Structure 1
Amino acid sequence: MITPLDDDLDSRIRAAAMAWLRQRCTPENPVVSRAELLGFKFEGRSFPLVDNRLGIRKPKELTAALSILTTYTSDGTRAPYEDEVGDDGLLRYKFQGDDPNLYTNVGLRRAYERDVPLIWFFGVKQGLYLPFFPVWIRAMEVDQLQVAVALEEAQRHIAIHGPVSEIERRYSVSMTRRRLHQPVFRQRVIHAYETSCAMCRLRHPSLLDAAHIIPDREERGVPAISNGMALCKIHHAAYDEHILGVRPDLVIEVRSDIMQEIDGPMLKHGLQEMHGLGLVLPRRRADRPKPELIEERYERFRAAG
């Protein structure tokens, strides 16, 4: 008979779930649907990887939580997810409700005490998630009703609630940005633009980027869909180099000296013929570029020209 204290069962379930996700989530298609997660099978029987109602999945067969989930919210609903990062560069995940003794929150505590790996499902669209695994709970912050989560092995050794050097902090923050913010931003933007370049309509996912309107190295360069556009790699590079820009009326403008050049078909069809075309925008108005960001970036384009 299987009991909740069966460590072998715990290990087998986590290993099977992560092995399935590695096979299912490819570089070309790294996201997974809620239906797939609910339909996961372990050793021939149904074993959902997410809870049907709650953000923390704590199966009755296990003493520790198996996964945590962040639902998708549009840009205007809440602040970008950077505000979940602590001074140590680690992400924070909130308890379920305000009772630390709720069974799901106890499951988080057990995962911390036993130092077992979890899966974090981050919403990029309604019912669509980008999985991060393995992740580990590094600290219980009961007074703030949250836990500190390490996304990589290196973050497991960063001091919590103690002095953190500036080098450690910057390293941890950059790791979080690279591991979470950039992939989530990419998937949210790509899906908002329906896997199509906003300029040339190219629909090959592997050739698409999530381009920032205001660069992410700047304070206003937040990882929000409204600060992004789905662009193919050629037009992303051209946008970043101010070879082409986007006017406040969302019409593409190619720099005047580029319009005068004579070269091969890529210049003619890939760049010059973009001049005067309108952007293809997301269906949801909240996902469209913020006018003030487009205007600011267009002024930079004009200054560069």
Structure 2
Amino acid sequence: MADPGLDELRQDWEVRIGAIRWILELCDREPGEGVLNRNLYSNHRYHWQSQPVLLQHPQMGVTRPRQCQFPISIATSPGGGDYDDHFTDKDGVFRYSYQGRRDDSASRLTRTDNTFNNGLRRLMRLRWPLIYFHGMSKGNYLAVAPVMIVDDDPISQTFGVIWGEQPEFYQGLGFPGERVAPVAGDYGLVMGIPNLRRDEVERRSVKAHLAQGSFRAKILRAYKNSCALSRLSRPPLLDAVHIAPVSEDEKASYSVPNGLALSKLHHAAYDQNYLGITPDFKIKVRADLLEATDGPIFQHGIQSLHNEEILLPSRKQDLPDRDALARRYEAFERGQNAL
């Protein structure tokens, strides 16, 4: 296959940057903090110059639409599928597996020298962005964009993926042409950033975004899309709230027992210690607020909850962690006593 010409590269760039902006605007419009049902962006919903553009192939993990010379997106199936996509422990870089053929008689993928992997290598050398669709559940994906390919490891048969710049950066940059970093995999050469240190790579990890998106989906599912305090059942008005702060133990931090589904009003009230939740799931409103006269929203939305029991998940393993609630409630009581 011949190398693309300048006009073809320019078209790829325009389609790519337009697609990234379009998918991010879609994430802003839809509830779910970036988790999208595939029907919202598949079936050629995005258009470039009146032409439909395929953003995610229904069967393939790497997608290259006909308007582009290189892949526009990568995707991981819900549950991981046949590929070992994972994060590295040392810096949180996401390792995306080569696309190839899985042979039961071989411990490694075969037929990996293909247009999909070579296209990702070209994106790595050009420092061009793309979209990552992370499978959450059947038909639902967390859209992470823009991301960048920063290294290629033939030993593990994976590419390193980190968060890229904001779309405005790429749009302001304009078409960069065939700008190629002289050393593939050099983190210090990503899109002209002079010194992308290892801690900067860690900051650009997509891990936290994936964890938070997954956390929200799991929490809203456990609470049946309802606020645990008010029973409000409008997902755009609900947050997935951590009981204990996110810690180094990420598995525990992002587990369902460490979360509550709260309306945005009650999330703010919980964070400000206007109300607390006891280890036996009772709501307590701060004593000085019980007699406050701040109108019907405060009366019915906050004061009337005092001594009520929160809505609980139906599955026992999803119940709020009592120890985490106790620690959080102690902080609430300390705040009350300090008044």
Q: What TM-score do the two structures reach when normalised by structure 1?
A: 0.73
Work out the CA distance in 2 between the residues paired with 1:36 and 1:169: 36
The match for 2:246 is 216
* Count of matched residue pairs: 282
Change (3 A) 1:183 1:299: closer
Change (3 A) 1:225 1:46: farther
Give 1:147 shift. Answer: 1.1
Change (3 A) 1:302 1:217: same
Gaps of 5+ in 2: 101-108, 167-184, 190-195, 334-339
Work out the CA distance in 2 between the residues paired with 1:23 and 1:302: 38
Whether 1:276 and 2:308 are equivalent positions in the alignment is yes
The match for 1:184 is 213
Q: Contact 1:72–1:126 (CA<8 Å) still a contact in 2?
A: yes
Q: Contact 1:120–1:132 (CA<8 Å) still a contact in 2?
A: yes
Choose from 94, 97, 103 the match for 1:94. 97
Report which of the two structures shows the higher radius of gyration computed on alpha carbons: 2
Give 1:120 shift. Answer: 1.0
Change (3 A) 1:301 1:183: closer
Work out the CA distance in 2 between the residues paired with 1:87 and 1:218: 13
The match for 1:66 is 72
Give CA-to-partner distance per residue, 1:163-197, whole Å, 9 cap, x none: xxxx9545543443697246524642465245432
- Identity percentage of aligned residues: 26
Of stretches 50-59 and 84-93 in structure 1, the one that deviates more from structure 2 is: 84-93
Work out the CA distance in 1 between the residues paired with 2:228 and 2:317: 11
Give 1:236 shift. Answer: 2.2
Gaps of 5+ in 1: 161-166
Of stretches 27-36 and 100-109 in structure 1, the one that deviates more from structure 2 is: 27-36
The match for 2:63 is 57
Work out the CA distance in 2 between the residues paired with 1:23 and 1:42: 15
Instruction: Note the 1:1-305 alignment, pairs <5 A.
Output: 5=4, 6-29=8-31, 30-40=34-44, 41-59=47-65, 62-73=68-79, 84-97=87-100, 98-99=109-110, 100-153=112-165, 158-159=187-188, 168-176=197-205, 180-181=209-210, 183-185=212-214, 187-189=216-218, 191-192=220-221, 193=223, 195-205=225-235, 207-219=237-249, 221-240=252-271, 243-245=275-277, 247=279, 251-254=281-284, 258=287, 261-264=290-293, 265=296, 268-274=299-305, 275-281=307-313, 285=315, 290-291=318-319, 294-304=321-331, 305=333
Q: Contact 1:124–1:187 (CA<8 Å) still a contact in 2?
A: no
